[in-house]
């Protein structure tokens, strides 16, 4: 199977290559696509060396599937050209997520919604993916009314430039800044651009994408997204009000049986999820600090952690490709 990875030299693109190899996706020929300045350079995949190709070269070669992680403007410019050539596009940018005719997919939740005609498929925002994966089974049982979420997001979510800024600051080196402010020893309550309503685009993604994935526009969501000096994954403090009451033991049981979720919740032994210790390099979503909100009924507190480059991006995209394969849409 011919597979294209668009943005192959970036943080997420590199992780996509790693996940494709680790999950043994049947790639017979890789089309590694990057910006013009990278065309002709070599990268390694599954023990073979491949030269980076231009976008048009990859389109012309008609891959079965193309995994995009090169930004929204690139996706808007080129995704349809791939699709018109018979390629299934799985896009990691925000370009197609809220398009009314495009599916927004977390395979454990809504893979059944995919049809053969879905040639451009949107991968959700990383912070949304980990939250909805934990909340979807609880929504089925108790019905979510409202979500209040605060995120603690890794610098890897911004990209290599942000990681370098943090490392430079830790080593006392002056260099290019990904953020307006220092990130080391700091928290920046600003991810993506500010909107007219005072929220950032990242925060509004969590609102809109959650409703779309869970197929329920009645769910009320409010978010505060914060960049923290962490590598290894995103963490989220989530407060969920349900329509029905619950017992903590039942919540733990539901989560423990949910695909892709690992419960780490034993506070008597100081066991709770952490990005560096638990999530880094893993494909699962980790949930802990599970407790009732003592301030009002039918409300739950959760701490949710996942590797934003893996389940939040690369792994979810590859799992969508695996779904297409399983359904017989690609071969």
pLDDT of residue 63: 98
Q: Give the whole-number percent of the chain exceeding pLDDT 90.
A: 98
User: Residues 309-314: what's their mean pLDDT?
Assistant: 97
Domains and CATH numbers, the chain: 2-124+313-326 (3.40.50.720), 127-308 (3.30.360.10)
Catalytic choice (99, 126, 280, 298): 126
Which pLDDT band holds residue 199 (cuts at 50, 70, 90)?
very high
Q: Of 285, 219, 218, which is closest to residue 255 (Cα–Cα)?
A: 285
User: Residues 210-235: what's their mean pLDDT?
Assistant: 97
Tell me the pLDDT tens digit for each residue of 40-64: 999 999 999 999 999 999 999 999 9
Which pLDDT band holds residue 117 (cuts at 50, 70, 90)?
very high
CB atoms closer than 10 angstroms to residue 236:
24
280 catalytic, yes or no? no
Which pLDDT band holds residue 93 (cuts at 50, 70, 90)?
very high
Residue 47, C-beta contacts closer than 8 angstroms, at least 6 positions apart: none
Chain centroid offset of residue 169 CA = 27
Which pLDDT band holds residue 84 (cuts at 50, 70, 90)?
very high
d(CA 32, CA 136) in angstroms, rounded, equals 34
pLDDT of residue 144: 98
Catalytic choice (139, 225, 234, 280): 234
d(CA 216, CA 211) in angstroms, rounded, equals 5
| Own/partner pairs, 218-222, CB within 8 angstroms, 24+ separation | 218/145, 219/139, 219/144, 219/145, 219/146, 219/147, 220/145, 220/146, 220/147, 221/146, 221/147, 221/149, 222/146, 222/147, 222/148, 222/149
d(CA 260, CA 108) in angstroms, rounded, equals 7
Query: What is the signed CA dihedral for 252, 253, 257, 259, rounded to 10 degrees?
Result: -20
Tell me the pLDDT tens digit for each residue of 262-282: 999 999 999 999 999 999 999
Task: Decide if pLDDT at 30 tops 90.
Answer: yes
Task: Yes or no: say if 91 and 122 are a contact pair by the CB < 8 Å rule.
Answer: yes
pLDDT of residue 130: 98
Q: Give the whole-number percent of the chain exceeding pLDDT 70.
A: 100
Which pLDDT band holds residue 128 (cuts at 50, 70, 90)?
very high
Task: Decide if pLDDT at 319 tops 90.
Answer: yes
- Residue matched to tokens 């912070």: 127
126 catalytic, yes or no? yes
Strands 48-51 and 65-68: unpaired
d(CA 237, CA 301) in angstroms, rounded, equals 7
Task: Decide if pLDDT at 36 tops 90.
Answer: no
Task: Yes or no: say if 313 and 157 are a contact pair by the CB < 8 Å rule.
Answer: no
Q: Of 153, 134, 135, which is closest to residue 235 (Cα–Cα)?
A: 153
Chain centroid offset of residue 233 CA = 10
User: Residues 136-150: what's their mean pLDDT?
Assistant: 98
Task: Yes or no: say if 330 and 71 are a contact pair by the CB < 8 Å rule.
Answer: no
pLDDT of residue 309: 97
Task: Decide if pLDDT at 242 tops 90.
Answer: yes
Task: Decide if pLDDT at 316 tops 90.
Answer: yes
Under DSSP, the state recorded for 267 is G
Residue 26, C-beta contacts closer than 8 angstroms, at least 6 positions apart: 1, 325
User: Residues 160-179: what's their mean pLDDT?
Assistant: 97
């Amino acid at each position: 199977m011919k597979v294209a990875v668009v943005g192959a030299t970036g943080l997420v693109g590199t992780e996509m290559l790693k996940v494709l190899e680790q999950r043994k996706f049947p790639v017979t020929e890789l089309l590694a696509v990057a910006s013009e300045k990278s065309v002709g350079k070599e990268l390694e995949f599954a023990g073979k060396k491949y030269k980076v190709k231009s976008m048009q070269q990859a389109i012309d070669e008609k891959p079965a599937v193309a995994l995009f992680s090169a930004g929204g403007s690139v996706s808007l410019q080129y995704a349809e050209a791939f699709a018109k050539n018979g390629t299934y596009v799985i896009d990691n940018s925000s370009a197609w997520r809220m398009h009314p005719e495009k599916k927004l997919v977390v395979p454990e939740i809504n893979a059944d919604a995919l049809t053969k005609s879905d040639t451009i498929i949107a991968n959700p925002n990383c912070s949304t993916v980990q939250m909805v994966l934990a909340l979807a089974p609880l929504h089925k049982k108790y019905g979510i009314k409202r979500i209040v979420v605060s995120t603690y997001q890794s610098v890897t979510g911004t990209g290599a430039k942000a990681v370098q800024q943090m490392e430079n600051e830790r080593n006392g080196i002056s260099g290019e800044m990904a953020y307006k402010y220092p990130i080391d020893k700091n928290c920046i309550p600003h991810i993506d651009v500010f909107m007219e309503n005072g929220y950032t685009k990242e925060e509004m993604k969590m609102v809109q994408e959650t409703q779309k994935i869970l197929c329920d526009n009645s769910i009320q969501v409010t978010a505060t997204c914060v960049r923290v000096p962490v590598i290894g994954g995103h963490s989220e403090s989530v407060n969920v009000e349900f329509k029905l009451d619950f017992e903590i033991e039942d919540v733990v049981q539901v989560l423990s049986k949910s695909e892709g979720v690992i419960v780490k919740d034993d506070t008597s032994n100081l066991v709770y999820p952490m990005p560096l210790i638990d999530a880094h390099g893993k494909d699962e979503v980790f949930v802990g600090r599970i407790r009732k909100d003592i301030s009002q009924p039918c409300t739950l507190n959760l701490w949710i952690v996942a590797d934003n480059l893996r389940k939040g991006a690369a792994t979810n995209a590859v799992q969508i490709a695996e779904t297409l394969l399983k359904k017989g849409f690609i071969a």
